[in-house]
């Protein structure tokens, strides 16, 4: 069975959004994020290339930087940064 058609009529699947890149930009850029969570720029670049963060402490700190007032959103973001599915905070 062929994949569903996209709005532009093509059958080619869309590429996944790089969550690491998006969250780096949401945190204010790589330099600001580097200072906030205490990792080097080459480490951020490596995580961006891989598409997930391998350091659990950095994941939690990163999520807290982006969502300081909302722990449920921070939890969902932390799961996405770690390469896991984003679960609903109510489950």
pLDDT band, residue 17 (cuts 50/70/90): confident
Give me the percent of the chain exceeding a pLDDT of 70: 82
Q: What is the mean pLDDT of residues 11-33?
A: 86
Q: What is the mean pLDDT of residues 40-64?
A: 93
Q: What is the mean pLDDT of residues 22-47?
A: 94
H/E stretch holding 49? helix 41-50
Threshold 0.85, pTM exceeds: no
pLDDT, greater one: 17 or 83: 83
Question: Are 45 and 67 spatial neighbours (Cβ–Cβ below 8 Å)?
Answer: no
């Amino acid at each position: 069975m062929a994949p569903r058609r996209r709005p532009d009529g093509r059958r080619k699947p869309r590429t996944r959004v790089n969550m690491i890149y998006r969250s780096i930009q949401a945190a204010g850029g790589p330099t600001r994020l580097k200072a906030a969570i205490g990792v080097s720029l080459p480490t951020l670049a490596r995580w961006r290339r891989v598409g997930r963060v391998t350091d659990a402490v950095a994941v939690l700190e990163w999520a807290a930087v982006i969502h300081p007032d909302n722990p449920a959103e921070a939890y969902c973001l932390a799961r996405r940064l770690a390469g896991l599915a984003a679960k609903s905070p109510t489950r």
